[in-house]
Protein backbone atom coordinates (compact mmCIF):
# COMPACT_ATOMS: atom_id res chain seq x y z
CA UNK A 1 0.00 0.00 0.00
CA UNK A 2 1.23 3.48 -0.82
CA UNK A 3 -0.04 6.48 1.06
CA UNK A 4 0.64 10.01 -0.08
CA UNK A 5 0.49 12.92 2.34
CA UNK A 6 -1.38 16.12 1.49
CA UNK A 7 1.62 18.32 0.77
CA UNK A 8 3.39 16.03 -1.72
CA UNK A 9 0.03 15.17 -3.27
CA UNK A 10 -0.65 18.83 -3.91
CA UNK A 11 2.82 19.20 -5.44
CA UNK A 12 2.19 16.26 -7.78
CA UNK A 13 -1.23 17.43 -8.94
CA UNK A 14 -0.05 21.02 -9.47
CA UNK A 15 2.97 19.85 -11.43
CA UNK A 16 0.80 17.60 -13.62
CA UNK A 17 -1.78 20.33 -14.27
CA UNK A 18 0.86 22.93 -14.94
CA UNK A 19 2.54 20.80 -17.60
CA UNK A 20 -0.73 19.80 -19.26
CA UNK A 21 -1.12 19.03 -22.17
CA UNK A 22 2.33 17.50 -21.78
CA UNK A 23 3.21 14.63 -19.52
CA UNK A 24 4.98 15.51 -16.31
CA UNK A 25 7.19 13.35 -14.12
CA UNK A 26 8.84 13.40 -10.75
CA UNK A 27 10.05 11.44 -7.76
CA UNK A 28 8.31 10.56 -4.50
CA UNK A 29 10.30 10.43 -1.26
CA UNK A 30 9.31 9.14 2.14
CA UNK A 31 9.46 6.14 4.40
CA UNK A 32 9.12 2.44 3.70
CA UNK A 33 8.18 -0.33 6.05
CA UNK A 34 7.92 -3.67 4.28
CA UNK A 35 5.35 -3.12 1.55
CA UNK A 36 3.87 -0.07 3.27
CA UNK A 37 5.07 3.21 1.88
CA UNK A 38 4.43 6.74 3.07
CA UNK A 39 5.22 9.59 0.70
CA UNK A 40 6.14 12.75 2.59
CA UNK A 41 7.75 14.70 -0.19
CA UNK A 42 7.34 14.97 -3.97
CA UNK A 43 10.05 16.31 -6.26
CA UNK A 44 8.98 17.52 -9.71
CA UNK A 45 11.61 16.54 -12.30
CA UNK A 46 12.17 17.58 -15.87
CA UNK A 47 10.53 15.58 -18.65
CA UNK A 48 13.58 15.08 -20.85
CA UNK A 49 11.88 13.17 -23.66
CA UNK A 50 13.03 14.68 -26.95
CA UNK A 51 9.98 14.96 -29.13
CA UNK A 52 6.34 15.63 -28.48
CA UNK A 53 5.78 15.26 -24.76
CA UNK A 54 2.01 15.01 -24.81
CA UNK A 55 2.19 11.25 -24.56
CA UNK A 56 5.75 10.50 -23.53
CA UNK A 57 8.09 11.23 -20.66
CA UNK A 58 11.63 10.38 -19.81
CA UNK A 59 13.56 10.93 -16.62
CA UNK A 60 17.21 11.87 -16.74
CA UNK A 61 19.12 9.32 -14.66
CA UNK A 62 21.21 12.21 -13.28
CA UNK A 63 18.03 13.79 -11.92
CA UNK A 64 17.03 10.53 -10.34
CA UNK A 65 20.49 10.16 -8.87
CA UNK A 66 20.23 13.68 -7.44
CA UNK A 67 16.77 12.93 -6.02
CA UNK A 68 18.12 9.73 -4.46
CA UNK A 69 21.04 11.65 -2.92
CA UNK A 70 18.72 14.35 -1.58
CA UNK A 71 16.51 11.68 -0.05
CA UNK A 72 19.45 9.95 1.63
CA UNK A 73 20.75 13.26 2.96
CA UNK A 74 17.47 13.74 4.81
CA UNK A 75 17.02 10.18 5.93
CA UNK A 76 14.28 9.54 3.38
CA UNK A 77 13.88 6.79 0.79
CA UNK A 78 13.21 7.20 -2.90
CA UNK A 79 9.89 5.37 -2.99
CA UNK A 80 8.46 5.92 -6.39
CA UNK A 81 8.06 7.79 -9.62
CA UNK A 82 4.99 9.72 -10.67
CA UNK A 83 3.94 10.85 -14.12
CA UNK A 84 0.80 12.14 -15.79
CA UNK A 85 -1.40 10.97 -18.66
CA UNK A 86 -2.96 14.05 -20.24
CA UNK A 87 -6.52 13.35 -21.46
CA UNK A 88 -5.96 9.68 -20.95
CA UNK A 89 -6.81 7.17 -18.24
CA UNK A 90 -4.35 6.48 -15.44
CA UNK A 91 -3.40 3.04 -16.70
CA UNK A 92 0.03 1.52 -17.04
CA UNK A 93 0.72 1.60 -20.75
CA UNK A 94 2.99 -0.71 -22.68
CA UNK A 95 5.43 2.19 -23.00
CA UNK A 96 5.31 2.73 -19.24
CA UNK A 97 5.90 -0.95 -18.60
CA UNK A 98 8.78 -1.38 -21.02
CA UNK A 99 10.63 1.56 -19.52
CA UNK A 100 9.89 0.88 -15.89
CA UNK A 101 11.81 -0.73 -13.08
CA UNK A 102 10.63 -3.12 -10.37
CA UNK A 103 12.13 -1.17 -7.50
CA UNK A 104 9.62 1.63 -7.29
CA UNK A 105 5.93 2.40 -7.11
CA UNK A 106 4.70 4.07 -10.29
CA UNK A 107 1.91 6.54 -9.70
CA UNK A 108 0.01 7.67 -12.79
CA UNK A 109 -2.20 10.78 -12.65
CA UNK A 110 -4.92 11.20 -15.23
CA UNK A 111 -5.31 14.85 -16.18
CA UNK A 112 -8.49 15.53 -18.13
CA UNK A 113 -9.00 18.94 -19.73
CA UNK A 114 -6.15 20.30 -17.61
CA UNK A 115 -7.63 19.14 -14.30
CA UNK A 116 -6.74 16.15 -12.13
CA UNK A 117 -9.23 13.33 -12.66
CA UNK A 118 -8.01 10.12 -11.03
CA UNK A 119 -4.81 8.24 -10.22
CA UNK A 120 -3.47 4.72 -9.84
CA UNK A 121 -0.28 3.15 -8.58
CA UNK A 122 1.49 0.18 -10.17
CA UNK A 123 4.28 -2.22 -9.30
CA UNK A 124 6.07 -3.51 -12.42
CA UNK A 125 7.71 -6.93 -12.38
CA UNK A 126 11.40 -7.66 -12.83
CA UNK A 127 11.18 -8.54 -16.52
CA UNK A 128 8.90 -5.63 -17.38
CA UNK A 129 6.20 -7.94 -18.68
CA UNK A 130 3.40 -7.02 -16.26
CA UNK A 131 2.55 -4.49 -13.58
CA UNK A 132 0.20 -5.16 -10.72
CA UNK A 133 -2.01 -2.43 -9.28
CA UNK A 134 -0.95 -1.20 -5.86
CA UNK A 135 -3.43 0.01 -3.31
CA UNK A 136 -3.08 3.75 -3.01
CA UNK A 137 -4.35 6.38 -0.61
CA UNK A 138 -4.23 10.09 -1.13
CA UNK A 139 -6.00 13.00 0.61
CA UNK A 140 -9.79 12.95 0.12
CA UNK A 141 -9.90 9.33 -0.92
**Residue choice 14, 40, 44, 68 for contact with other proteins (CB under 8 A):** 68
Radius of gyration of the chain (CA): 14
Cis peptide before 21 (omega within 30 of 0): yes
Residue 12 and residue 111 in contact, taking contact as beta carbons nearer than 8 Å:
no
DSSP state of 88: S
131 is a site residue for other proteins (CB under 8 A) = no
56 is a site residue for other proteins (CB under 8 A) = yes
Q: Which residues bind other proteins (CB under 8 A)?
A: 23, 25, 32, 49, 54-59, 61-62, 64-65, 68-69, 72, 77-79, 81, 83, 85-89, 91, 93-97, 99-104, 106, 112-113, 126, 128
Amino acid sequence: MIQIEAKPWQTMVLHAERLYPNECCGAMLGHTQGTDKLVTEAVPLENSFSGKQNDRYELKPEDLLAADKAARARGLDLIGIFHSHPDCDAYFSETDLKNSCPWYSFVVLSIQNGKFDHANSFLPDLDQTAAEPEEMKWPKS
